[in-house]
A and B are shown apart, each in its own frame.
Chain A
Amino acid sequence: AQSVTQLDSQVPVFEEAPVELRCNYSSSVSVYLFWYVQYPNQGLQLLLKYLSGSTLVKGINGFEAEFNKSQTSFHLRKPSVHISDTAEYFCAVSDLNYGQNFVFGPGTRLSVLP
């Protein structure tokens, strides 16, 4: 079964600094990869997704992620964060071979400091 690892449970960063949130998944077979954001007391909002094609994926709010098949990683990056980016970020994988729904990582709490 698939598993998703987000090594950093919390990432504090100063405003306007760059940030990278790491995500690794367990299998290199055909998968779809996603990043979701969750603001306090809200549901999950899709930031970006990788289905196929270019390994660099651009999403909303200035975020981007790079799919690396050999390292089974899908790290999320933003060159300059804002206070409003403070939230929980979840990496998720959908395994095409099993037709199952998402397996989510444990989440990374991004705190942007003034």
Chain B
Amino acid sequence: KAGVTQTPRYLIKTRGQQVTLSCSPISGHRSVSWYQQTPGQGLQFLFEYFSETQRNKGNFPGRFSGRQFSNSRSEMNVSTLELGDSALYLCASSLIGGASANYGYTFGSGTRLTVV
């Protein structure tokens, strides 16, 4: 079956702009989580969506937001981009997510965002 699909793979934006990233989970998976990966901070949890509702949120400013559609596809948006937002953004899907991690997470290949 198809894996987790993230689009686009690469993106270059200018400081101050906004950006939307997309994630299509594995068919049947209802939980989508987003992570930011940078060389300095490593992998940091952004938020998790389950059944179109944000279930958990990490410690990021309000410029970072997301949503999930009825088909479980998720988007994340970053407004007023800053140079420090340059990172690899990873999406992970699972059947139900949260603490029931025994179902396992499957990660996408990520979107590499560069802010100039």
Q: Which residues of A contact B44 (CB under 8 A)?
A: 104
Q: Give the size of the chain B interface in residues (CB under 8 angstroms).
A: 24
Query: Contact: A43 with B45, CB < 8 Å?
Result: no
Nearest-CB residue, chain B, relative to A106: B42
Instruction: Give the distance in Å from the alpha carbon of A32 to the alpha carbon of B95 in the complex.
Output: 17
Could you say which of A90, A92, A100, A103 has the most chain B C-beta atoms within 10 Å of its C-beta? Answer: A100
A45 to B, closest residue via Cβ: B107
Of B43, B105, B107, B109, which contacts A41 at CB under 8 A?
B109
- A32-67 interface mask toward B, CB cutoff 8 Å, 1 = contact, 0 = none? 101010000111111001010000000000000000
**A residues in contact with B33, CB < 8 Å:** 101
Partner among B101, B102, B104, B107 whose Cβ is within 8 Å of the Cβ of A43: B107
Q: Is the pair B42, A101 in contact by a Cβ cutoff of 8 Å?
A: no
Residue contact B48 to A101, C-beta cutoff 8 Å: yes
The answer for the CA separation of A100 and B97 in the assembled complex, in Å, is 9
Query: Measured between alpha carbons, how far is A90 from B97 in the docked complex, in Å?
Result: 19
The tally of residues in A whose CB lies under 8 Å from a CB in B reads 26
Q: Which of A44, A45, A100, A103 has the most CB of B within 10 A?
A: A44
B-side interface residues toward A, CB under 8 Å?
4, 6, 33, 35, 42-45, 48, 56, 90, 92, 97-99, 101-102, 104-110
Seed contacts A43-B107, A100-B99; 14 additional CB < 8 Å A-B pairs: A32-B102, A43-B108, A44-B107, A45-B107, A46-B105, A46-B106, A51-B102, A92-B43, A96-B99, A98-B99, A99-B98, A99-B99, A104-B35, A105-B42
| CB<8 Å pairs between A and B, sample of 21 | A32-B101, A32-B102, A41-B109, A43-B4, A43-B90, A43-B107, A43-B108, A43-B109, A44-B107, A45-B107, A49-B102, A49-B104, A92-B43, A94-B99, A94-B101, A96-B99, A101-B33, A101-B98, A102-B43, A106-B42, A107-B43
